[in-house]
Amino acid sequence: MIKKCESCQNGCPCKCKIGGSIFGVLLLVGIVILALRFFSPEDTWLCENGQWIKHGSPSAEMPTEKCAIKGEVKNEVKVDRAVTNFSECEAAGYPVMEIYPRQCQGKDMIYVEEVAVDNDEEEKHKDLIVLDNIHAGSYIESPVTITGKARGNWFFEASFPISIVNWDGLIIGQGVATAKGDWMTEEFVPFEAKISFDKATYKNNGSIILQKDNPSGLPEHDDALEIPIFFK
């Protein structure tokens, strides 16, 4: 039979000391459990591949801030203001994708950086068709008026077709350019076109395609001038 000890001396079993040690261990375990419960990220929202994923049972609502995709530079948006091009998007603090050309992810549009735009097509076609008011890298909005001059054989029945396409080559607007003079000639003839187009989505770059009218349908008579542009 174990005696009750006032102190652990003279070989008497230390019932009091053992009891105190057990209590201390239980208290420590309780503290650790509480710490893990309140400070561990078990119940939270995790950002994975551009999406917020619920982990456990978070008490908070899903975050409203953008979940950055791997490869993007996640910047803090400085101000909430209207953005119409890459420079304004970057200045506002929206994330920039470091690809070529760089692209800035705005609220509802990706803005492509205005790097040196290739105008080889304009140079190549300068003896056949020339534009007055729109060139490679121009910004346009709907409706757009296009003026210039083209050789008479670029027309048929005093007109030729024009298409406006988005970044993916999808036609978002079509119309015809009309000759402003006698088109039955080999000389340059002034033309004008006014074309409405759908609002661009996803990216703000596209092209205007001025197609030589080819009533014969023979591919050897096909030709077109494609101008890379940006949408406002």
Are residues 174 and 81 part of one domain?
no
Query: Which of 181, 210, 220 lies closest to 121 in space, CA to CA?
Result: 210
- pLDDT (0 to 100) of residue 3: 47
- pLDDT (0 to 100) of residue 61: 78
Mark which of 88, 112, 136 sits at the end of a domain: 112
Cβ 84 vs Cβ 108: under 8 Å? no
Are residues 221 and 129 part of one domain?
yes
- In degrees and rounded to multiples of 5, residue 54 shows phi and psi of -75, 130
- pLDDT band for position 69 (cuts 50, 70, 90): low
Mark which of 112, 131, 150 sits at the end of a domain: 112
What's the pTM? 0.62
Mark which of 93, 112, 131 sits at the end of a domain: 112
Are residues 126 and 105 part of one domain?
no
Number of domains forming the structure of the chain: 2
Give the number of other CB atoms < 10 A from CB of residue 57: 8
- pLDDT (0 to 100) of residue 64: 72
Starting at the earlier edge strand, list the strands of the sheet with 205-211: 129-131, 144-151, 188-195, 171-179, 159-165, 205-211, 224-231, 139-140
- pLDDT band for position 74 (cuts 50, 70, 90): very low
Are residues 167 and 132 part of one domain?
yes
Are residues 221 and 127 part of one domain?
yes
Domain of residue 96, residue span: 46-112
In a domain, 187, yes or no: yes
Are residues 153 and 103 part of one domain?
no
Strands (E), the chain: 44-48, 51-55, 72-73, 96-97, 103-105, 109-112, 129-131, 139-140, 144-151, 159-165, 171-179, 188-195, 202-203, 205-211, 224-231
Are residues 145 and 55 part of one domain?
no
Average pLDDT, stretch 216-227?
94
- pLDDT (0 to 100) of residue 53: 78
- pLDDT (0 to 100) of residue 95: 94
- Residues 56 and 221: their CA atoms lie apart, in Å, by 66
Are residues 84 and 170 part of one domain?
no
Are residues 175 and 219 part of one domain?
yes
In a domain, 150, yes or no: yes
